[in-house]
Amino acid sequence: MRRVVVTGLGVLAPNGLTVEEFWESTSRGVSGIAGITKFDASDYPSKIAGEVKGFDSSRYIGKKDAKRMDLFTQYAVYTALAAVRDAEYDILADDPERVGVIYGSGIGGTLTFEKQHANLLRKGPRGISPFFVPMQIIDMSAGMISIILGAKGPNYSTVSACASGAHAIGDAFKTIQRGDADVMITGGAEASVTPMSLGGFCAMKALSTRNGEPSKASRPFDAQRDGFILAEGAGTVVLESLEHAQKRGARIYAEIIGVGFTADAFHITAPAVGGEGAARAMKVALEDAGILPEDVDYINAHGTSTKPNDRTETAAIKAVFGPNADKIAISSTKSMTGHTLGAAGAIELIVTVLAIKNQTVPPTINYEYPDPECDLNYTPNQARKMDIHVALTNSFGFGGHNAVIAVKKYEDEQAAITPETLKISS
């Protein structure tokens, strides 16, 4: 089993258009939630969202290519280009057949579907664009990244609702680990702030209606939480085998050491009672990484700001970590970004990597009223400097899909990952 490291990052989020801007905002507790500007949301119960503002695809992608991509694919391509640039990696000068792309999205080209359906109603079948199908299908994110960058290795997309990005990264990790590629470009993207998406989540009564206080609406684990905030964005990471990264002298951010994938087998939207499926995913990730529960310093929680999720995720963490649960630093950065659906797992993996790099736990903002059922250390309102050696990032999706990624501080002198080389908490 080969060791796998993170060498490049690219992100687009409601509170930052670059990795540097995103981390600065996230570590300072700056929210990207505001009133919706992409369309008239005055008739919707929820009128707020986490929009990506200031993104101009023509600055990064040729106009001809951009016109043939849904916005979620543009986000994916932009962050992939940024991540590869950050990694200082030239695919074509290496071996393109050993470079793959696995990319996730929860709902893909919904904006394209809505626009083309409007054309159908207005103009009939002749009004539908010949690019409709390739623009709206989810796998086009992976396809366009490979076309533009020239990556010829394993290539596909993952779809598991809000766990899509995490599943993509987990699959990419395993692809390198078993030797099927040396480098993987992976992550998740979503451009979900659209009339139908907003309307659908409103119909489910899943969204916050705290419209008068947008920046305070996403409040994971807080007793007054009333739903999640629809958001959009993308996150891409470059993963490499340690040998490949060392051979080319790459900067290494952190090391991926394990993943855990499980299913609730319970309900189409509600989490399993007591967070049973989520707990198993964390246990599997720990076992895959070869570490103990007491080795974990930080958990980037799924933490959606809904009543059921936050309650059951808290229960799941307690089930896995027992008496050590309240010693672990936890935070939900969805309090600042909102819920980016299929991009969330990727964006939050980037948060976790940066938390390890900067030895700083970002806060859960808007935590004001403790909930007796959510009684762990959620790093309320202020970032915390601390030693972070091992971290988990949790992602859970509608349909009962659970994905957990274990990340470790990279240590160059470490020959192998064993319990003896890890910090064991007292």
Catalytic one among 162, 167, 202, 401? 162
Distance from C-alpha of 118 to C-alpha of 110, rounded to nearest angstrom? 12
Integer angstrom CA distances of residue 151 from 4, 154, 186, 309: 18, 9, 12, 37
Catalytic one among 167, 202, 244, 302? 302
Residue 44 corresponds to which amino acid?
A: Y
DSSP assignment of 350-390: HHHHHHHHHTEEPPBTT--SBBTTB-S---BSS-EE---SE
- Please name which of 37, 143, 30, 154 lies closest in space to residue 80, comparing C-alpha atoms: 143
Identify whether 374 is a catalytic site residue. no
Distance from C-alpha of 181 to C-alpha of 145, rounded to nearest angstrom? 16
- The 8-class DSSP code of residue 45 comes to S
Identify whether 202 is a catalytic site residue. no
Identify whether 339 is a catalytic site residue. yes
Structure tokens at 242: 């340690």
Catalytic one among 244, 339, 389, 401? 339
- Backbone conformation region of residue 250, classed left if phi is above 0, alpha if psi is from -120 to 50, else beta: beta
CB 167 within 8 A of CB 401: yes
Distance from C-alpha of 298 to C-alpha of 145, rounded to nearest angstrom? 32
Distance from C-alpha of 21 to C-alpha of 14, rounded to nearest angstrom? 11
Distance from C-alpha of 115 to C-alpha of 117, rounded to nearest angstrom? 5
Dihedral (CA of 47, 50, 54, 56) sign: negative
Distance from C-alpha of 110 to C-alpha of 246, rounded to nearest angstrom? 41
Count of C-beta atoms within a 10 Å radius of residue 368: 12
Q: Where are the beta strands (DSSP E) in 274-421?
A: 298-300, 329-331, 360-361, 384-385, 390-397, 401-408
**Would you please indicate which residues are annotated as catalytic (active-site) residues?**
162, 302, 339
